[in-house]
Chains A and B, each alone.
Chain A
Amino acid sequence: MHGDHVDALVATAPDGIAFDDLRVDREGDRYAFETPEETHGALNEDDLRAVAADSPFVRNWYFWHAVAPQKADRWAFLRWLEDAEETALERRLENLADGVVSEWGQLRVTATVDDGGERRYHVRHVDDARADPAALTAHEDPRAARDLAKHDERGRYRPLKSAPTLRTGWRFADRSAADLVETVETFYPASVANWHREREGELDVTHWHETVERQTGIYGVVQTWDRGEGYEHVNWVAEACCADSQCLKRREWHYDDETELDVDGGDGVVPCREPCSVVIAAARQWTKLESEESRTYEFELTPSEKEQVEGIVDAVADGSVGDIREADVYEDANRYRARFLRAKRFDGEGNLSGAPTDRDGGE
């Protein structure tokens, strides 16, 4: 490794270099070398080697061109992590010495630099920001992220990687740039590519209607859901599935090119470019359920019972049922409270207030 940056510089110098406050220009058979710290002219190759050997600017150039992954989106992501396009190198190196922190979904990424100018990265859960490293399980292989991303804290499978349910208690310490990108992409697949496309003004958004029109097989039925008036149903889908409380991607798709949805797409750093498979699978079920017409039922409930029913729906929708304490009978969705309501208001067939479900529309 030692001296690689010098060899690379000498090999590239004939073409000229201008990168991150480093300039090397060819002047006849000599070179000019310029950084904010020093300026030299008329260097022969040996002089150039001598000047380059200890220059942090040369080491920086080398890192970005020979060590960091070169795929445009990965490279841009790594640059973004240290705010490279906005901050001069000298300042950046100071910041990196302390560690530059960014958040990506629920990842907290800290960029640092070693003596040779090579960036090293640390990743942990945002909620573990202040945790003692010794209390976190250390991982090295990016593929360890697969298992970490698979189940939430309660052991439930996470089909949607961007759900805000990533478990805590782990860290990746002192990783290379390539490993970092792979780790991030394992937690959040395609996030770097889509983030970069968006920054370049090239995010290929596929809106709801187009996505639904493309479906075939068992999902083809969802097309029929769009045949009614308007797009209110899609507002409901987005509110149900895509809110930041459910998914950290920022929804950029709408009903179609011309029709924006009325619900907020969220604030995530990573864009969502089309309805995902979880949303389409749910939409299939909603298409079936929503083909039913409303009926009028008569239920007898006390005011508190009505509010309890609403409270139970809220608790399920907000995922807070599991947090309600055993004896907290003040909560509508407390188990004893729900069991009491059932005992009192359901008949032997499970009908609320004894009102039978009207499947045939009252005929």
Chain B
Amino acid sequence: MAPALVIAAHGSHLNAESSTPTYTHADTIRATGAFAEVRESFWKEEPSFREALRTVDADEVYLVPLFISEGYFTEQVIPREFRLGGWDPDLWSSDGTSATHATLTADDTGQTVHYCGPVGTHDAMSDVIVQRAESVTGDPDIGEGVGLAVVGHGTERNENSAKAIEYHAGRIRDRGRFDEVQALFMDEDPEVDDVTEYFESDDIVVVPLFIADGFHTQEDIPEDMGLTDDYRLGYDVPTAVDGHDIWYAGAVGTEPLMADVVLERAADAGADVEAAIEQVRERTSGANPAAGD
């Protein structure tokens, strides 16, 4: 029987839209027919991590966390809740941004689970950030004369969360496409509040490395950067701040190309999804965001 894909995402008890990107990306992958089944599962919604595996028929499952960084959720919560027997973070032999995959057996269902690193630290995520910059500016060649800020939490909650931001900022900087690339943080220096101080370029594209839009991406960051005094009133894209034009993209996780990263994770773990990857790349490049900002 063909294997199944299970996506593990955070979800929310309070925000109805938190799960929207997860469903959207799952639908994109479902449409490729690459897996017998595609199942969404959530820490805060249903099906829960505890009960997702029993809802799929396949004996073999690719489990991909729709999380930004490696750490608490990917190394402790998900393996524990999915009852992945014999899990040890060393199986990924990661330095914080280089997780691979591990093949384990679920204690409660006996299914073979290829447990993959999170989407956020996969190299393909850099492409999604760039594509996000393209979609928010409507310019497929965006880069020249433009600064790019990749924004995340700081280390306060998870040391690796800053690493993931810096990793992608570094990779995109090395490509030389944008005049400037800078990692910024919400709770430590360099802070997103001072975004304009870190760029010479007139135009700054700001892409938060978050899976879903919510409190941080819709309220905190826009207010911190001075796009608006009150997030409920909204803001323009771009908004002029201190003589710069700020193109604020909202959560990168709503970018349709994210579905590609999920597939890449599964492919790295051995899933036969090359055709699906082609199809998804074709379908999602230059598409509109998965969820409204």
Write the residues of chain A forming the contact surface with B, with a CB cutoff of 8 angstroms.
Answer: 69-71, 73-74, 143, 146, 150-151, 157, 159-162, 185, 189-190, 192-194, 197, 204, 214, 216-217, 273-274, 276-278, 281
Contacts and interface: CB of A to CB of B under 8 A. Distances in A.
Interface string B27-67: 10000000000000001111110111011010000000000
A157 B55 contact: no
Contacts of A73: 54
B51 A161 contact: no
A190 B80 contact: no
Given A146-B23, A193-B54, A277-B45, 15 more contacts: A74-B57, A157-B14, A159-B14, A161-B46, A162-B46, A185-B55, A189-B47, A190-B54, A193-B51, A194-B51, A204-B108, A216-B76, A216-B80, A277-B43, A281-B44
Those 10 A-B pairs whose CB atoms lie nearest each other, nearest first: A189-B47, A190-B51, A157-B16, A189-B46, A159-B13, A193-B54, A71-B57, A190-B47, A161-B46, A277-B44
A193 B55 contact: yes
Interface string B233-261: 00000000000000000000000000000
B91 interface: no
B77 interface: yes
A249 B76 CA distance: 28
13 contacts: A69-B57, A151-B16, A159-B13, A190-B46, A190-B51, A190-B54, A190-B55, A193-B55, A197-B54, A216-B76, A216-B80, A276-B48, A277-B45
Chain B interface extent, by class: 20 to 34
Contacts of B13: 159, 277-278, 281
A276 B108 CA distance: 17
Given A159-B44, A277-B44, A217 B55 contact: no
A157 B18 CA distance: 11
By secondary structure, the B interface counts as loop
Contact of B77 (A71, A143, A185, A216): A216
B42 to A, nearest CB: 8
Contacts of B46: 160-162, 189-190, 276
Interface in B1-28: 12-16, 23, 27
B50 A274 contact: yes
A160 B46 CA distance: 8
B44 A189 contact: no
B72 interface: yes
A204 B108 CA distance: 8
Nearest to B51: A190
B24 to A, nearest CB: 11
A274 B76 CA distance: 19
B6 to A, nearest CB: 12
A297 B259 CA distance: 58
A162 B51 CA distance: 14
Residue of A71, A146, A190 with highest tally of chain B CB at under 10 A: A190
A281 B51 CA distance: 18
A159 B54 contact: no
A157 B12 CA distance: 10
A151 B15 CA distance: 11
Given A143-B27, A194-B51, A204-B108, A217 B16 contact: no
B289 to A, nearest CB: 18
A255 B95 CA distance: 41
Nearest to A73: B54
A165 B80 CA distance: 31
Contacts of B57: 69-71, 74
Contacts of B76: 216-217
A71 B53 CA distance: 13
Nearest to B49: A277
A159 B12 contact: yes
Contacts of B54: 73, 190, 193-194, 197
Nearest to A158: B16
A192 B51 CA distance: 11
Contacts of A143: 23, 27
A345 B62 CA distance: 61
Contacts of B45: 159, 161, 277
Contacts of B50: 274
